[in-house]
Structure 1
Amino acid sequence: MANEIMNRNNDIRDWFNNDPWMNSFPALFGDNFSTSNSLKTDIKESDKDYQVRVDMPDFDKKNIDISYNDNTLTVSAHRDDFADHNDKNGDVIMSERSSGRFARQYHLPAVDTESIKASYANGVLSVTLPKMVNSEDSAHHIEIG
């Protein structure tokens, strides 16, 4: 039942995150180039649906956009600069929080688009995507004439 495309995506992400050469890029380009800024996600699949949970701390719900098109769930959001990044007195000695646009896409086929539900609480976006029900009425035998 596992989604092969998601498995391949996870394999590529694991390779990228665990390869020493690839991990040298943050040192070359500064702390802004980091895979840790992506939207961390858990996806569960059952016979009835997909359940997607995305960590999105410090996002305002009105700045989150969710769409499903061509078997792909897209989650995008933006977060404005934090006020203390522009500290004119130079009091900020460390800043790891990031701002800007963030997006992730997930290939989740055969979803009943009319029944997708989403909620956002405590910095976690939860999306339930019910799978299409295969109706046995739509299958029929065709006689050869």
Structure 2
Amino acid sequence: MSNLFPTSRDFFFPQFFDQAFDSFFTPMTQPNVDIEENDHSYVVTMDIPGMNKEDINVTYNNNLLTIEAQQDHQTESKDLTTNYIRRERVCSSFKRQFIIENVNLKGIKCKYKNGVLNIYLPKNDQVLVENHRIEIE
């Protein structure tokens, strides 16, 4: 209903101003992650297109899986023949953390291919009881 009657904003700020300002305030997006649990392992699958394997860091410490990446592009181009009209791919980074318990550290495997990161986290053979009630004497 608000679009039926023009407001003063419509007269003073045409649509191209909206598009220009929106590009400054685009929300940061995190890569999509799937975490699958089966009887013997956890499998983490994350979409990270456009990154190099060297730009990705995966760690597991104290039941916390951390996946982070940073990719920097040079902002100044020495090539005088390149005339950018718009340049948005300057720097991209993210950090995701997940609590995953009961992992055998020696069997963790990680693979990055075609923009998809796959992490295999085998479970410990010992069964941990999570809610054990302690009798009060």
What is the TM-score normalised by the length of structure 1? Answer: 0.61
Deviations 1:50-105 (A, max 9, x none): 11011111111111111000111101111012x5x646789434445462432110
**Whose helix proportion is higher, 1 or 2?**
1
1:132 to 95, 108, 124: 124
Superposition pairs for residues 35-50 of structure 1, below 5 Å?
Answer: 35-36=28-29, 38-50=30-42
What is the TM-score normalised by the length of structure 2? Answer: 0.64
Taking only aligned residues, the RMSD between alpha carbons, in angstroms, comes to: 2.5
Q: Does 1:103 align with 2:116?
A: no
Letter in 2 for 1:128: Y
Deviations 1:80-139 (A, max 9, x none): 12x5x646789434445462432110111110011000000001110000111126xxxx
- Alignment length, in residue pairs? 105
Q: Which residue of 1 aligns with 2:48?
A: 56
Q: Which residue of 1 aligns with 2:27?
A: 34
Counterpart contact for 1:53–1:126, Cα < 8 Å: yes
Letter in 1 for 2:57: D
Tell me the SS of whatever aligns to 1:126: strand
CA spacing shift, 1:96–1:53, aligned 2, 3 Å: farther
Distance 1:45 1:97 in 2: 35
* Structure 1: 4+ residue segments shifted above 6 A: 87-90
Structure 1, gaps ≥5 residues long: 1-26, 136-145
Distance 2:89 2:32 in 1: 15
Deviates more, 1:111-120 or 1:38-47: 38-47
Letter in 2 for 1:113: L
Tell me the SS of whatever aligns to 1:75: strand
Distance 1:66 1:115 in 2: 14
Question: Sequence identity, in percent?
Answer: 32
Counterpart contact for 1:41–1:55, Cα < 8 Å: yes
Structure 2, gaps ≥5 residues long: 1-20, 128-137
Distance 1:94 1:29 in 2: 11
Tell me the SS of whatever aligns to 1:114: helix
